[in-house]
Structure 1
Amino acid sequence: MSLERKLIEYCSPTLASLKTANLFNHSFSSEEELEKQLAELNSLLRKKGIFLQVLFKKENKALIYVFRKSRLQAELNRPAVKRFLSKYGYEHMDVDYGLNRLSERLGEDGAFPHEIGIFLGYPLGDVVGFIQNAGKNCKCLGCWKVYCNECEARKTFARYQKCRAVYSRLWNDGRSVIQLTVAA
């Protein structure tokens, strides 16, 4: 599947400025081709406040993070988020530093870094709840496991689902990713 198609399928809420970030796996045939595609998309989407970054690579698979830098920075600047991330070795709350640290954590052997939920715009209470409950006992499940505000989460999940459906239809009708991306 093309990178553009995956942006529509997995990242529509971020493209529509409803969400801070999304993440997806992408298989590639050569690192050079992957870097070229990412550079082209970054060149186009940067103008609208969207950035693509490989967080982790293994063999011919890349974990691609698509984000709105300004929204992520605002999230990282929240005092409660700073306190939470400091427990996982995040010494600074600069976006570039945070993404480098997250990338390091993804490359470590052992447990998956569940603080990634913060980088995806999940509510802090739900990220903490997931960690404390080892992924069990959630109130509901959608784009993430919900431990706090179930009603608000269900509304958010519905908005994301509707956004994906609309973006898919428009993309299939010929709109480009750049046309479908809301400016920051």
Structure 2
Amino acid sequence: MSQQAFWLFLKMDKRNLFVQMALQCAPVLAGIKVSNLLIIEERYWKELCFLLRNSEMCARKLYRCRDKITLLLYRREELEQWVKTLQVEALLKEIGYDSVELHRIFRKLEQRIGGHGNGEMPFPHELGLLLGYPAEDVRGFMGIGYKKCLYTGYWKVYEKPEEKIALFSEYDRAMDLALSMAYERQNILKLKEVFEVDSREKKLAV
């Protein structure tokens, strides 16, 4: 987050749904990530569903704790393609997922998250795969084959740090644009279009 975006954020209502979506979900809204987690008060669930009704975005409840819910905000087609990529599918099957159909992955993941909440199971770090984290980094974080962490950004990086750092910079740019839109009360679901225009302008300026 840039300093300018940080000062804008300080002026905004932190409970506003658009503000929270800008803060937590800018990369997926910008179309440069398959999904993001969104943690909000449960009373905003119906409002979120209404906002997403005619959009490219989907929301899935993963966990509820007191008055808050943890959701996966995602682009269905992109996420379906992502979990079927060679390395992601291989890791999912290695850790007990017998299908890469999205609804079946969700079902097993929710069972594991619930088991963790009850103190019966370790946290299912494979959630990182559904968040679009590269399989090599999820493997490294889970300790499957010893690797040294090379960088920490939006996730812990175990391979190709330069590539991931450049990607994290794009995520930061998406967040800056999203917070600016939220501050100006623009429709944050239009972030993908705004991000694409900003990207073209940056290329022309080089």
Let me know the Cα RMSD of the aligned residues.
2.0
Q: 1:180 to 1:52 in 2, by over 3 A?
A: same
Q: In the alignment, what sits opposite 1:99?
A: 106
Q: 1:78 to 1:179 in 2, by over 3 A?
A: closer
1:4 and 2:13 are equivalent in the alignment: no
Q: In the alignment, what sits opposite 2:196?
A: none
Aligned residues, how many? 175
Q: In the alignment, what sits opposite 2:61?
A: 54
**Which structure 2 residues correspond to residues 30-49 of structure 1 after superposition, within 5 A?**
33-45=43-55, 49=56
Distance 2:179 2:145 in 1: 34
Structure whose alpha-carbon radius of gyration is higher? 2
Aligned match for 1:18, one of 10, 32, 35: 32
User: How many Å apart are 1:114 and its aligned residue?
Assistant: 0.7
Distance 1:159 1:17 in 2: 11
Answer yes or no: is the 8 Å Cα contact 1:135–1:145 preserved in 2: no
TM-score, with normalisation over the residues of structure 2?
A: 0.78
1:84 and 2:91 are equivalent in the alignment: yes
Gaps of 5+ in 1: none
Answer yes or no: is the 8 Å Cα contact 2:112–2:121 preserved in 1: no
Q: 1:114 to 1:178 in 2, by over 3 A?
A: same
Answer yes or no: is the 8 Å Cα contact 2:147–2:158 preserved in 1: no
Identity of aligned residues (%): 26
Answer yes or no: is the 8 Å Cα contact 2:126–2:138 preserved in 1: yes
Answer yes or no: is the 8 Å Cα contact 1:9–1:168 preserved in 2: yes
Deviation digits for residues 107-158 of structure 1, max 9, x if unmatched? 1133111111110001110000111179994101000000001000100111
User: How many Å apart are 1:85 and its aligned residue?
Assistant: 0.6
